[in-house]
Amino acid sequence: MSRLLPQGCTRIKTLYQGAEAIVDLCEWLGREVVVKTRVSKGYRVRELDDLIRRSRTVREASLLSSAKKAGVNTPFVYHVNPVEGWIIMSYAGSRSLRSMQGSSIFASLIRMLGDAVGRLHSAGIVHGDLTFSNVLVSEGRLTLIDFGLGEFSNEVEKKAEDIYTFFSSLTALQDSETMMRLFLEGYRASARESAKRVEERLREIGSRGRYVEKELRRRLERKSRENVSPET
Ligand SMILES: Nc1ncnc2c1ncn2[C@@H]1O[C@H](COP(=O)(O)OP(=O)(O)OP(=O)(O)O)[C@@H](O)[C@H]1O
Ligand SMILES: [Mg+2]
């Protein structure tokens, strides 16, 4: 494929090809780097598309660097080209938190993640897409990636939503309650006083979620009752 890469970059392999971005592992100035290219969306008006790509590229690079300053491990940003939608950053390995499920250190990684998210939130950064695949693991250390949906915000609701997103992916696990407890333990340790308000909001969001689920279930049950004809 002859997709354009920053000057001096040689593609080793494509790591990921998604709807918004393509991620290539490359060699650049003698080191292994990752080039994340935010792709154009053909269906958007050209000017609008350029504007969105540029602003998201700049925002992601800036959030990656600010998170690092806040003590959270993120890839080093080496170079940003908003016009082309490129971010050149350090390679953080190929293991995601998802692949660590079942490992003996999984529980401690979850606690570490809680601590990292607490640091982010204390620095006024919301990740926006906290999922297993956006947390990479290498030599027992976590690296947070993919700040494309992130923002600088101190809103309690946004912080609670951040955690809620992660908890939603935890619910599939058998010991999800323990994992949530460990996450919050880590979160409290770094977010300190603000943790309390965020946790309160998290519980509110949880009960809103349960209310919506209950309503949906009720409606579905009513619908299925209505669909049963009197003859049957
Ligand atoms: N610095 C990095 N080091 C190692 N792998 C990376 C790095 N950055 C991205 N990747 C790999 O590329 C994948 C996609 O990257 P990323 O999560 O940043 O894009 P994305 O925004 O999720 O794309 P989409 O918007 O299409 O979902 C990651 O899940 C990870 O496997
Ligand atoms: Mg991602």
Pairing status of strand 31-38 against strand 21-28: antiparallel
pLDDT band at 214 (very low <50, low <70, confident <90, very high): low
Predicted local distance difference test score (pLDDT) of residue 231: 42
DSSP state letter for 147 = -
45 has a pLDDT exceeding 90: no
Distance 147 CA to ligand 1 centre (A): 10
Kindly compute the dihedral angle of the four CA atoms of residues 60, 62, 65, 70, in this order, to the nearest 10 degrees: -100
Predicted local distance difference test score (pLDDT) of residue 185: 98
228 has a pLDDT exceeding 90: no
Predicted local distance difference test score (pLDDT) of residue 219: 74
Neighbours of 101 (CB within 10 A): 13
DSSP state letter for 44 = S
**Does CATH number 1.10.510.10 belong to domain 97-212?**
yes
- Ligand at minimal distance from the CA of 20 is 1
pLDDT tens per residue across span 100-113: 999 999 999 999 99
Phi, psi of 127 (to 5 degrees): -70, -45
Predicted local distance difference test score (pLDDT) of residue 109: 98
Distance 193 CA to ligand 2 centre (A): 30
Please tell me if the CB atom of residue 15 comes closer than 6 angstroms to any atom of ligand 1.
Answer: yes
Predicted local distance difference test score (pLDDT) of residue 208: 81
Please tell me if the CB atom of residue 33 comes closer than 6 angstroms to any atom of ligand 1.
Answer: no
Predicted local distance difference test score (pLDDT) of residue 74: 98
pLDDT band at 230 (very low <50, low <70, confident <90, very high): very low
pLDDT tens per residue across span 51-79: 999 999 999 999 999 999 999 999 999 99
Predicted local distance difference test score (pLDDT) of residue 210: 67
Please tell me if the CB atom of residue 148 comes closer than 6 angstroms to any atom of ligand 1.
Answer: yes
Average pLDDT (162-175) is 92
pLDDT tens per residue across span 130-156: 999 999 999 999 999 999 999 999 999
Q: pLDDT exceeding 70 applies to what percent of the chain?
A: 91
Distance 21 CA to ligand 2 centre (A): 9
Measured from the Cα of 90, ligand 1's closest atom is 1
C-alpha count within 13 angstroms, C-beta hemisphere, residue 210: 5
CATH of 9-90, one of 3.40.50.720, 3.30.200.20, 1.10.10.10, 3.40.630.30: 3.30.200.20
Question: Which residues make up the environment of ion ligand 2, defined by Cβ < 5 Å?
Answer: 134, 146
**141 φψ region: left (φ > 0), alpha (ψ -120 to 50), beta (else):** beta
pLDDT band at 44 (very low <50, low <70, confident <90, very high): confident
7 has a pLDDT exceeding 70: yes
Predicted local distance difference test score (pLDDT) of residue 158: 96
Give the mean pLDDT of the chain.
91
Do domains 9-90 and 97-212 share one topology? The answer is: no
229 has a pLDDT exceeding 70: no
Please tell me if the CB atom of residue 21 comes closer than 6 angstroms to any atom of ligand 1.
Answer: yes
Predicted local distance difference test score (pLDDT) of residue 225: 67
Please tell me if the CB atom of residue 152 comes closer than 6 angstroms to any atom of ligand 1.
Answer: no
Measured from the Cα of 92, ligand 1's closest atom is 3
Pairing status of strand 21-28 against strand 77-81: unpaired
Active site residue 146: no
**106 φψ region: left (φ > 0), alpha (ψ -120 to 50), beta (else):** alpha
Predicted local distance difference test score (pLDDT) of residue 2: 58
Measured from the Cα of 75, ligand 1's closest atom is 1
- Ligand at minimal distance from the CA of 146 is 1
- What are the boundaries of each domain within the chain? 9-90, 97-212
Catalytic residue among 129, 146, 162, 175: 129
